Structure 1
Amino acid sequence: MMIRLLLLLNLLFISSASYADISRPESQAATTIYSTIFVTDVDNVDSANQSFVANVYVEYHWHDPRLAGADSSRTIAIDQAWHPRIQIVNQQHIFKTFPDFFEVSSDGHVIYRQRYWGNFSQPMNLKEFPMDSQQLEIQVVAVGYDNNEVIFVQNPDEPSGLADKLSVTEWAVTKWSAEAIDYMPTKHSAPLSGFHLLIHAERDERYYVIKIILPLLMIVAMSWLVFWIDPKESGSQISVAITTMLTLIAYRFSIGELVPKVAYLTRLDYFILGSTLMVFLTLLLVIVTSNLAKSNQVQLAISIDRWSRTIFPSMLIIITLVSFFNV
């Protein structure tokens, strides 16, 4: 019994000694955290999964006079001193690549450096896809501290920023900003002290124009060949129309991985839907003109085909303008 009591007292002594200086320094005033968030690379932006992959370097400085007094700078474990418990709010699967420790100078100046690589969540509105612009955010927060206890400021010596060249080629960065910003986990919760880097990027739509839009325009135009075939050749007309429809269906399956899977319609979805309806209308019109030709109304069928040569291209132009240019 006595041995257990001595062990318990020993554990309490060790615990009190270990956590004696874990409280926040300068408890009467807010602790200033000089912050740096620098994105060294963005590997991928996954619109469908609402996330992006990035390589991020962070650096935080603060002063803790209780750690002063050593003859030279030293490193200490992160559980041996107070720290603001900084976390990345929108992290998903990330990996630390630097050792976890604090650098402490002789005057009590503390530096924490870390490099993260992995996935970060990012809500995106894709209604303008593929002509959209998005904001990519790295949001950090001091868990359990508000602005009365911890204040984030931009580090003037090591400013936040973004690398000049990024791996992702589909996006062009237009601007970025870094500032202290409060974080509220819910609408009714107290705001926590935080800091974020916000990257504004525009999608380069040329890839989708070449890979999706132009081939789709060619498939739709191929369906118009029926308007130059004699209505009496109904077999040829129907064969071309059905072949075009099957080609369009196969093409839509092939581009499925290139189009974000969202519950609402994007600009590209409207264009694909309009193009599909046009091909379907062409097939219906072929059936109508074929029946007219069989009913000895060949001239009416030819007249419909002639008018269709103008109407259908005009319809496609209107669909394209409405889908992509808000006309």
Structure 2
Amino acid sequence: MKFPKSILCIFILFVSVQLFARQHHTISTEKEPLEVSVNLRINKIYNINSVQETYQIDGYFMYTWKNEEAISYLKDSTANSIVFENDKARELINSDLWIPAFELINVQGSREVPNIRIEIYSDGIIEYEERFFATCSTNMDFKKFPFDSQVYQVAIEAFSYGSKKIVFTNPKLFLEKDHEDYLGEDWEFVNSDAHVVTKTYKYMDDSINSEKNSYSRVIFEIKAQRLSGYYEWQVLFPLLIIILASFSIFWIKEFGSQIGVGFTLMLTVVAFNFYSASILPKLPYNTFIEYVIIVGYIFIFLGIVAVIINHRINGEEDKGDKIPLLKYFRYLFPIVYALIMIVLYMSLIV
């Protein structure tokens, strides 16, 4: 018995479509998007680089979703679940079973994934876990440096599927109990947060409202406060002493010594400015420590100008008709400087 050619062609086309769908790991075309829960456990945040605004993370990702097609992998097993690790897990990813790819958005370069694990449960639940090492970046705010706090972020999206296909739900962030272990000696843990947002791109499709432009994103955040003790004692305190020492020129009688002391202390403040520039990126705004240095520049410069004016008016000879400018400056400069520094420190509270 011979089959009509039309029926044979339809059969071949049907089989080809099925094979193509399996080969390309198709996702369900149901109206409701696939819900994927994601957990992040951080072992350590280290090599925090303020100049490059980067930090390295050692942690674990765990993604969980349901795919009833995965039940077939347990049909010959009496166990409640089956586990695939490393090479076996990678073979499973390259097989017919659909497993989505997830992208670390704020990573620099590529992340290192030494170990992965996939566990399939008898009810179709799939758990995908990976150990990773990554260098991440985020925009840091140094306006209050060295009394600043920073938020270290880890952002995750599905690589190929928008929010109409995959949405993240119930993100959880787990941290070690001893926060000093993963933040190092320079930072103190403040709080943490995990939330889901919808990221809209403008270049994936010409139509702004296209589903290709909308992606579900999970953002994990860890807020930490910089421990400022080092900068207080090694930078700010010596700088304060230098500025106060500059007011001594109003107590010196010889004009040459006054100028010499003023310019020497000015050069010392310049050295502090070079140091602050070496530990921070090039910023479009001034930090707290830079404002302190700028104020120091201004007062030393004004002190030099003040003794020059006094010398031009009164000279160095003792005269009865002298205007006691230096006596006024001895108290005026420290008082004004103290008021300005109070205002600067009050700005840290705002």
TM bucket normalised to smaller: 0.7 to 0.9
d(CA) in 2 for partners of 1:298, 1:142 = 84
d(CA) in 1 for partners of 2:321, 2:116 = 82
CA contact (8 A) 1:98 1:113 kept: no
Choose which of 220, 243, 246 in structure 2 pairs with 1:220.
Answer: 243
CA contact (8 A) 1:94 1:117 kept: no
1:5-25, CA deviations, whole angstroms, 9 ceiling, x for partnerless residues? Answer: xxxxxxx98x93793471125
1:324 to 2:345 alignment: yes
CA contact (8 A) 1:292 1:300 kept: no
CA contact (8 A) 2:166 2:216 kept: yes
1:224-247, CA deviations, whole angstroms, 9 ceiling, x for partnerless residues? Answer: 1211112xx222222211221122
1:120 to 2:136 alignment: yes
d(CA) in 2 for partners of 1:293, 1:118 = 67
CA contact (8 A) 1:52 1:121 kept: yes
CA contact (8 A) 1:154 1:160 kept: no
Choose which of 37, 42, 56 in structure 2 pairs with 1:39.
Answer: 42
1:90-239 equivalences in 2 (<5 Å): 90-100=106-116, 102-154=118-170, 159-164=172-177, 165=179, 166-186=182-202, 188=208, 190-230=213-253, 233-239=254-260
- Kindly provide the amino acid, as one letter, of the partner of residue 306 in structure 1: K
User: Shift in Å at residue 41 of structure 1?
Assistant: 1.3
d(CA) in 2 for partners of 1:54, 1:117 = 6
d(CA) in 1 for partners of 2:272, 2:219 = 42
- TM-score if structure 1 supplies the norm length? 0.83
Choose which of 85, 103, 108 in structure 1 pairs with 2:101.
Answer: 85
- Kindly provide the amino acid, as one letter, of the partner of residue 70 in structure 2: L
- Kindly provide the amino acid, as one letter, of the partner of residue 58 in structure 1: F
- Kindly provide the amino acid, as one letter, of the partner of residue 322 in structure 1: V
- Kindly provide the amino acid, as one letter, of the partner of residue 55 in structure 1: D
Residue number in structure 2 paired with 1:286: 307
Report the 3-state secondary structure (helix = DSSP H, G, I; strand = E; otherwise coil) of the residue aligned with 2:108: strand
1:273 to 2:294 alignment: yes
User: Shift in Å at residue 132 of structure 1?
Assistant: 2.8
Cα distance, 1:20–1:241 mapped onto 2, change above 3 Å: closer
Aligned pairs, number: 312
Percent identical residues: 23
d(CA) in 1 for partners of 2:331, 2:289 = 24
Choose which of 50, 59, 62 in structure 2 pairs with 1:59.
Answer: 62
d(CA) in 1 for partners of 2:218, 2:150 = 19
Structure 1: gaps of 5 or more residues:
1-11
d(CA) in 2 for partners of 1:206, 1:182 = 40
Cα distance, 1:300–1:20 mapped onto 2, change above 3 Å: farther
d(CA) in 2 for partners of 1:236, 1:201 = 47
Report the 3-state secondary structure (helix = DSSP H, G, I; strand = E; otherwise coil) of the residue aligned with 2:214: coil
* Greater mean deviation of Cα atoms: 83-92 or 170-179: 170-179
User: Shift in Å at residue 117 of structure 1?
Assistant: 2.0
1:194-247, CA deviations, whole angstroms, 9 ceiling, x for partnerless residues? Answer: 2221222333333322222111111111111211112xx222222211221122
Residue number in structure 2 paired with 1:7: none
CA contact (8 A) 1:268 1:323 kept: no
CA contact (8 A) 2:51 2:279 kept: no
Choose which of 16, 19, 26 in structure 1 pairs with 2:19.
Answer: 16
- Kindly provide the amino acid, as one letter, of the partner of residue 265 in structure 1: N
Cα distance, 1:303–1:148 mapped onto 2, change above 3 Å: same
- Kindly provide the amino acid, as one letter, of the partner of residue 22 in structure 2: Y
CA contact (8 A) 2:269 2:293 kept: no
Choose which of 246, 252, 256 in structure 1 pairs with 2:273.
Answer: 252
User: Shift in Å at residue 91 of structure 1?
Assistant: 0.9
Structure 2: gaps of 5 or more residues:
1-14
User: Shift in Å at residue 51 of structure 1?
Assistant: 2.7
Report the 3-state secondary structure (helix = DSSP H, G, I; strand = E; otherwise coil) of the residue aligned with 2:153: strand
Report the 3-state secondary structure (helix = DSSP H, G, I; strand = E; otherwise coil) of the residue aligned with 2:100: coil
Cα distance, 1:171–1:281 mapped onto 2, change above 3 Å: same
Cα distance, 1:298–1:304 mapped onto 2, change above 3 Å: farther
